[in-house]
Amino acid sequence: MLIDIHIHTKEYSSCSDIELEEAIVKAKSIGLDGICITDHESKDITYKAIELSRKHDFLVIVGVEILTYEGDLLVFGLEEVPKQKMSANELISLVSKAGGIAISAHPYRDNGRGMGDNIRRLGRLSGIEVFNGNTELFQNIKAFDLAKELSLPCLGGSDAHKLERIGRYATLFPDGIRDEKDLIDAIKHRKVSPVKCVDINSFQEIKFLKEERI
């Protein structure tokens, strides 16, 4: 099962041009099985996501991208978005207590929002978005190498802000998922791997050693 775990909508991310319904239609057309909406500091799209998920018979999971003092985290399983900025470890602790997961987004992107080597000082991080569609390949590879070094789950997401970028990278859930709980459980049990879009309805799992490059 292929899920793009990182998409922004214009409804609640001012930096995005994508409407939720067109994101669903686009994702289905390229062979994805579901999407995660991760707007900045907002889960307000949840009810609309439930409605459109039923309308299109397509899995839509709502998470959130939260900027901490160290950088961005993709968070799933947290009901309320914190109203104040906090450290990554504070947010990870909050998410962990709620039974959720926190994933470092685009850690080596050099725009002040990637965590970079701060990841080494974090506790209970659930995974790393090692392939991000809005990040340079060499920065993604650096993230991949770090995830392997720290034995953290590797995930892929498009970080799409424009419709045509949806699915550029995604995550394979080999056992399938039905909802947010399944997504959280799969990542906690490391039953995930990053994939890249090769062509419409064609995705390739990314598996290579540190010495190999795509």
User: What is the reported pLDDT for 209?
Assistant: 44
User: What is the reported pLDDT for 112?
Assistant: 86
Nearest to 73 by CA among 32, 34, 118: 118
Rounded Cα–Cα distance for residues 92 and 158 (Å): 23
Pairing relationship of beta strands 59-62 and 64-67 according to DSSP bridges: unpaired
- Condensed to tens digits (0 to 9), the pLDDT of residues 35-77 reads 999 999 999 999 999 999 999 999 999 999 999 999 999 999 9
User: What is the reported pLDDT for 210?
Assistant: 45
CA–chain centroid gap for 121, Å, is 21
Residues above pLDDT 70, as percent of the chain? 97
Rounded Cα–Cα distance for residues 10 and 23 (Å): 11
Domains and CATH numbers, the chain: 2-205 (3.20.20.140)
Rounded Cα–Cα distance for residues 148 and 152 (Å): 6
- Condensed to tens digits (0 to 9), the pLDDT of residues 150-201 reads 999 999 999 999 999 999 999 999 999 999 999 999 999 999 999 999 887 7
| Cα-Cα-Cα-Cα dihedral sign, residues 174, 169, 193, 74 | negative
End-to-end CA distance of the chain: 23
Give the residues across from 65 on adjacent strands: 40, 74
Tokens 């062509």 -> residue: 199
Nearest to 124 by CA among 155, 107, 100: 100
